[in-house]
Amino acid sequence: MPVTLRFTAADLLRCRFAISPAFETISAIRLTSAEEAPGQHARWLTGVADRVARLDLRPITLLQPRRGYTPDFLAPPPIGPLATIDDDLARIAATPPDRVAAEIGRSLGERPGAADTEVGRRLLGDPVEVLARLTDLIRTVWRELVEPVWPRVRALLDADVSFQTRRLAEGGLDRLFAELHPTLRWHDNTLTRTRGDAEHRDLAGAGLLLMPSAFKWDQVVVVLDEPWQPTVIYPARGTGGLWQEPRGTTDVALGRLIGRTRAALLIGLTDPATTTTLAHRHALSPATVSEHLTVLREAGFVTSERHRHEIRYRRSPLGTAVMDRMLD
C-alpha cells in the first residue's frame, strides 16, 4: 500500500537534507536482532559481535518491530543539517514523560505479546526512569559500535547529500526524486512510497526533511507524526561498498578473477535485488549494473527470477562457492 505526500508551492521551497547520528545508532541496533537481515552490513556485524554480546540491547530491539511502529522519540528528526550525537541525545532526554509512555505503549501494542515480556514490563514502568535508561543505552551503543566507524559512515552520508543536492540544483524535485530510491515515485507534485502502510498527507507548507541512512539499508521510512517536520529516511547511495576493504586484501583476488565491480555486486547480493536497487546501493547506473549482471548470470554466478513486475537477482550456489573460496 502506498504513502503519498502532496506538495504545495511553499513545500517545494522547504525541502532540506540532514543526517542523524541517533537514527544511525538505533538502526545499527536493529541489525543485531536475529529477525533482521544484515545485508551488506554483515561484515561490520561480524566485527562487532563480541561487543554486541556484552550489551543488553533488548529494550531497543523490542521497540523496533520488523513491521509496526518504532517510537519517534528514540531518534527525532534533526533540526539542523549538522547535528551531533550530543545534540540528538539532548533532544531524546528532553522528551516529555507522557509522550515517552504513549509511544512505547503504541509500539508494544502493535507487537503481540511484547508487553508481557520481562523487558516489555520494564519499558512500561516509570517513563522518566525508562527514558533515562534508553538514552544511556543509545549513548553506550554509539560509543561502542557506531563512533569507531562514524568517519566512514559520515563520509558516505555526506557524499549522498552532496550528490542529491546537486541533482536538486540541476533539475529541481523532478530530477531529485527520479532516482532517490527505487520505492519512491514523483508525479504531479506528489511523492509516493510504493510499499508499506497506506497513508496520505498534504504537507501544506510544512516542507519535507530528507535524511539518508547507512544502517537503514533496506527500506524507506516516512515519519509523519507530530510534532516533527514530515521526514523521509532513505538508504544512502553506495552502501554496497561501505565495508569494502582497501586494495591488497582478500577481496582483490575475486576482483582479479571477475572484475572489481562484478565482485562488489556478487559480494553485495546478500538478498535478492533488482537492477535498480543494486544501482542505488553501489552508486552505479542501472545500465552498468545490467551489463555486469548479464555477465555474472551467463557465468552461472547469479540467477534471476520474476517477482510480480520486477526481475530480482540472487547469488547462485556456484557464485556463493566461488566467493567463499576466494575470500577464505
Q: What is the largest CA-CA distance in the chain?
A: 60
Domain ranges of the chain: 3-17+152-239, 21-149, 244-326
Radius of gyration for the chain, computed over Cα atoms and rounded to the nearest angstrom: 20
What pLDDT score does 169 carry? 86
What pLDDT score does 285 carry? 78
Residue 215 gets which letter from DSSP? S
The end-to-end CA distance of the chain, in Å, is 42
> Looking at this protein, which amino acid is placed at residue 160?
D
In this prediction the pTM is 0.81
Cα separation values, 33 from 26, 49, 113, 220, 238, Å: 11, 12, 17, 19, 24
What pLDDT score does 284 carry? 80
Cα separation values, 21 from 191, 284, 325, Å: 26, 26, 36
Q: How far apart are CA 110 and CA 63, in angstroms?
A: 10
What pLDDT score does 102 carry? 96
- pLDDT tens for 77-119 read 888 777 899 999 999 999 999 999 999 999 999 888 999 999 9
The b/e string for 218-255 (b: 16+ C-beta within 10 A; e otherwise) is bebbbbbeeebbbbbbbbbbbbbbbbbeeeeeebeebb
- pLDDT tens for 4-60 read 999 998 988 888 999 999 999 999 999 999 888 888 898 899 999 999 999 999 999
| Fold observed for domain 244-326 | Arc Repressor Mutant, subunit A (1.10.10)
